[in-house]
Amino acid sequence: MTGRREELVRKLQAKLEEWNTRIDELEVQAALMEAEARTEQQKRIERIRRKRDEVQEKIDALSRSGDDALRDLEQGVNLAVDALKEALQSATSRFR
């Protein structure tokens, strides 16, 4: 794996761990909500987890890719990361 790819994968994995912590925090907050609000928040959290899984799959593909595919895979990872960030921000804003 090239140095650039290794660094990108390392940074993405670290960010993913940070997001996993935020997802766990959302779970705790959702547990304290009223039943109807909790159900809606749990649905949001499930969508976030699916987006997180997509990011992980793209990171895995990136780490296994050849140099010629790096740019294309990097774009896909960035799109998935942006979608995950947006979903987390939306869910987090419900608690403010």
Tell me: the pLDDT tens digits for 46-71? 999 999 999 999 889 888 887 777 77
pLDDT of 89 above 60: yes
Tally of domains within the chain: 1
pTM of the entire structure? 0.80
pLDDT in tens, 5-33: 888 889 999 999 999 999 999 999 999 99
pLDDT at 96: 60
Distance CA 46, CA 34 (A): 18
> What pLDDT shows up at residue 23?
94
74-79: Cβ within 8 A, 24+ apart: 74/8, 77/8, 77/12
Query: Could you identify the residue written with the tokens 């959702």?
Result: 30
- Predicted confidence (pLDDT) at residue 1 exceeds the cutoff of 60: no
Q: Name the residue type at position 51.
A: K
Which range marks the domain in which residue 85 is found?
3-93
